Amino acid sequence: MATIEECRAALEKLSDTMQHTEGDVRTAATLDRSVNCRITDLDTTFVGRMTDGRIVVHDTVQGPPPEKAQIRLTMKSDDLVALVNGELNFAKAWGSGRVKLEAGLRDLLQLRKLL
């Protein structure tokens, strides 16, 4: 099981990767949306915002998110680290239920370019 610090580092790495994308992927990365990333095995939620091509984590809370974000991710800590490091395929993880992504239809269509 990854630690909270490792999960935060993974989110920062994802944010850095998003910052350097181009084309259609860059367009998707520049969405301005609230984001929650719930890590089930740590009973922790990272609360933040996707803006200017980055994910900015504003808070880390124990338990479920305090508010419903526009983009919501749910997964185990090891899966987050593996996804960001390229060791876990997002589509397969999402299809098998290891990773849950919830967002509005329009956002999902944009996010698929990122993932």
- What is the reported pLDDT for 61? 97
Query: Residue 46 in 3-state DSSP?
Result: strand
**CB atoms < 10 A from the CB of 14, how many?**
17
Q: Specify the pairing of strand 100-103 against strand 71-75.
A: antiparallel
pTM (predicted TM-score): 0.87
Calculate mean pLDDT across residues 18-43. 80
The C-alpha atoms of residue 43 and residue 20 are separated, in whole angstroms, by: 31
Beta-ladder partners of 62: 44
- pLDDT band for 23, please (50, 70, 90 cuts): low
Lookup: tokens for 14: 């994802």
User: What does the pLDDT look like over 50-91, one tens digit per residue?
Assistant: 988 888 999 999 999 989 999 999 999 999 999 999 999 988
pLDDT for the residue 111:
74
Average pLDDT over residues 105-113: 78
